[in-house]
Structures are given as structure tokens and as C-alpha cells.
Amino acid sequence: MFIILSNYFIYIWLTIIICIHSFVHQIRVELPSVSESTSLELDEYNEINFDQNSNSLYNTSKHVFYWLYTSNETDGQLLNRSEPRMIESTTYDLANPMKLIVHGWLGTTQEKEGLCSINIKSYFKVGNYNVICVDWKQYSTDLSYAIAKARAKHIGKDIARVVSRITKNMTEGTADMHLIGHSLGAHIVGFTGKILTNLVPRITGLDPAKPMYEKSDPQDRLDFTDAQYVDIIHTNGDQNALFEALGHIDIYPNGGKSQPNCGKMDKRTGSCSHIKSYHYFAHSIWAKEDYVAQNCSSWDDYKNKKCKNNDTTFMGEHVDKNKTGTYFLETEIED
């Protein structure tokens, strides 16, 4: 009974998501230029409200939360933004690398097997880190993707403010700073990178969102100029995510469009393939050698073994930051 019921809810949920996706796509298909300018106006509208009305929904400091995880506080501490010693009052240790993780549309930080929790588990399995999960669910759970998307720049700006405070205006603890974003979160960390005064050492884009970003200029989406090194993992390209290369390195596991063991439903929703990007990433943190990607110009060439003598790198956390271009691999290990 429970299984039938929960399947039923999943079905309703997926239907809602599909409707929204089709709706978003419909707007784009029918009114491409108008839709672009609408979203720009929306941005300006948000900008005006952004810092003026303390009760406004657009005052991100009331709606975006930062959860800090350190080796001896793995349950998470909520950063208190009214506290002058916001960082000093926590177990944040400037000697350890900072990993900042941002979820996507309809995401949260609380899911048991979600982006935040599986990556935290992996990081603390191998070392000492300051992991910050950015919770912007008060905006991201808006059922309109278009509205969530219009807020992405503001979330990026908010993160930049908090990061500046943590690093004393980018003067401390910045050498190991790494921003990681999934889907819409990938563009958000891109915006953060654009705003911060020094170039962030690394940004990882996990299957950067595609709807309403296909035609965006580099300043309106994640781009390789947003950090010293930008690595992208594409797992659901051309569906929920962009397929085109955006980073210094773009890695396409299993061709980058759909992932194995995702079931039939995935052809329609792509959601399983889309989240594989962060499952692969979390796995790569503690299992460095499990994903070896090869420089290749296409999946066909890769499958036909035309690239087998080409250059290789690990995918994910341990990517070789000297490597650029497009890389492919077939995953043998799930997650």
C-alpha cells in the first residue's frame, strides 16, 4: 500500500515537473526574444528591491542560509549573519580547504542522499575541510523555474558577500577555495566567481542547468573565466543540462547525455542522469582512480577506441588542473 501510494506521489511530482519544464520550454520556443528581455526586467526589478526593504522577499540575507560542516562538527552549524564573529564563533579552521556547495532548482541541503550530505560524507572520509552548504530552498522550491532562475544572480551575489566575510575580503584562506554547484547552482557559483575581487582558484560545475541558459552570454551563465580553473561534469546534456563545453575542462561520462542504470522513466525526465553528476563527484573524492577520462573530440571516437592513446585525467575532485579540453569516459563504478 505504502509503495503504491509513494509511487503515486512520485508520479504526480514528476508530472508537475514535466509540466513546468514544458511550460518553460514553450515560453522559450514561442517568444525567444521577449522571454530574454522579460528575465532582464525581472532582474532589474529584483535589484531595486534587493537592498531596500528589510521585509522584502528579495533581501537574500533573510532567506539564504549557510551551513558549516567541519571534521569535529559534522552535524552542521548555521552561520549567524548578525554575529560580528560569524566565523570565529564556529569551528571553521582557516588552515583547512574550503568547499562551498550549492544545490539547484527544487533542491535543498537536507536530503539524505542529496548533493550536500553525500559530498560531506566523502570529504570527511578523507580529510579535514570546511564544507559550507548553501541552502537557498526558500527561493529554489518556487515551482516556477523561471523565477528561480531570475534569482540565481542574487544568490550568487549573496554567496560572494558571505565568502568575502569569511576570507576577510579575499585575503585569508583563499588558496584552497573551491566552489561546487549542481544544475542551477552551477550558474550561481559562476556568478559568485564573477563578483569576487580575486579569481577563485576553482569552480566545479556539476551538470550546469540548460533551460533558459542555452543562449546566454558568458556573463549570464557559468563560464571558464569565472575561476582560475573551471571543471565541468556533464551527465544529462541536451536535456536538463547544457551539453556544450563551458569550462577549462569538460568531462562527459558515458557520453554526457544519459547515464547507465537510470531506468526507463529517465528518458523522459532525465532527473536520474542529472543527479549522477554529483554522485560521481562524491565518489571521486575518496576513490581518486575510479574515473579516468580521456581527451577525445567525441563520444563516437571514444567508443571506437580512436582516443585510446590520448592524454588522460581523473574526473572529479582529483582532476589534473593542467588539463584542458573535452574528455570522455565510460563509468564502470556506479557511486
Among 12, 34, 41, 62, binds ligand NAG (CB under 6 A): 62
Q: Is 322 in the site for ligand NAG (CB under 6 A)?
A: yes
Residues constituting the chain: 335
Q: Of 43, 158, 207, 231, which one is the catalytic site residue?
A: 207
Q: Measured between alpha carbons, how far is 299 from 147 in angstroms, rounded to an integer?
A: 35
123/213 with CB nearer ligand NAG: 123
Q: How far is CA 55 from CA 62, 143, 223, in A?
A: 9, 22, 33
CA-nearest of 139, 141, 144, 129 to 159 is 139
71/271 with CB nearer ligand NAG: 71
Among 82, 88, 112, 289, binds ligand NAG (CB under 6 A): 82
Q: Measured between alpha carbons, how far is 66 from 80 in angstroms, rounded to an integer?
A: 8
Catalytic annotation present for 207:
yes
What angle in degrees, to the nearest 10, is found between the helix axes of 115-126 and 271-286? 10
58/105 with CB nearer ligand NAG: 58
Shortest distance, position 55 Cβ to ligand NAG, whole Å? 8
Binding mask 116-145 for ligand NAG (x = CB under 6 A): ------------x-----------------
Residues 151-180 that bind ligand NAG (CB under 6 A): 168-169
Amino acid (1-letter code) at residue 36: E
Among 25, 267, 303, 306, binds ligand NAG (CB under 6 A): 306
Q: Is 80 in the site for ligand NAG (CB under 6 A)?
A: yes
The one segment of 148-156, 200-208, 270-278, 317-325 that binds ligand NAG by CB under 6 A: 317-325
Q: How far is CA 14 from CA 51, 144, 226, in A?
A: 36, 14, 33
Q: Of 140, 183, 273, 284, which one is the catalytic site residue?
A: 183
Q: Contact 180/281 with Cβ under 8 angstroms? A: yes
Strand, coil or helix: what is 194? helix
Shortest distance, position 305 Cβ to ligand NAG, whole Å? 9
Shortest distance, position 155 Cβ to ligand NAG, whole Å? 15
Amino acid (1-letter code) at residue 93: D
CA-nearest of 285, 225, 255, 277 to 107 is 277
Q: Is 46 in the site for ligand NAG (CB under 6 A)?
A: no
Q: Is 15 in the site for ligand NAG (CB under 6 A)?
A: no
Among 13, 26, 29, 51, binds ligand NAG (CB under 6 A): 51
Q: Can you list the alpha helix ranges (DSSP code H) found in the chain?
A: 2-30, 32-50, 115-126, 137-140, 145-166, 184-195, 265-269, 271-286, 299-303
105/302 with CB nearer ligand NAG: 302
Among 2, 54, 75, 264, binds ligand NAG (CB under 6 A): 54
25/168 with CB nearer ligand NAG: 168
Q: Is 77 in the site for ligand NAG (CB under 6 A)?
A: no
Q: Is 324 in the site for ligand NAG (CB under 6 A)?
A: yes
DSSP 53-111: -TTSTT-GGGT-EEEEEETTEEEEEE--TT-TTTTTTTT--TTSPEEEEE--TT--S--
Q: Is 325 in the site for ligand NAG (CB under 6 A)?
A: yes
234/323 with CB nearer ligand NAG: 323
Amino acid (1-letter code) at residue 126: V
What angle in degrees, to the nearest 10, is found between the helix axes of 32-50 and 145-166? 40
Q: Annotated active-site positions, please?
A: 183, 207, 274
Q: Which residues bind ligand NAG (CB under 6 A)?
A: 51, 54, 59, 61-62, 71-72, 80, 82-83, 91, 128, 168-169, 295-297, 301, 306-307, 310-311, 320, 322-326
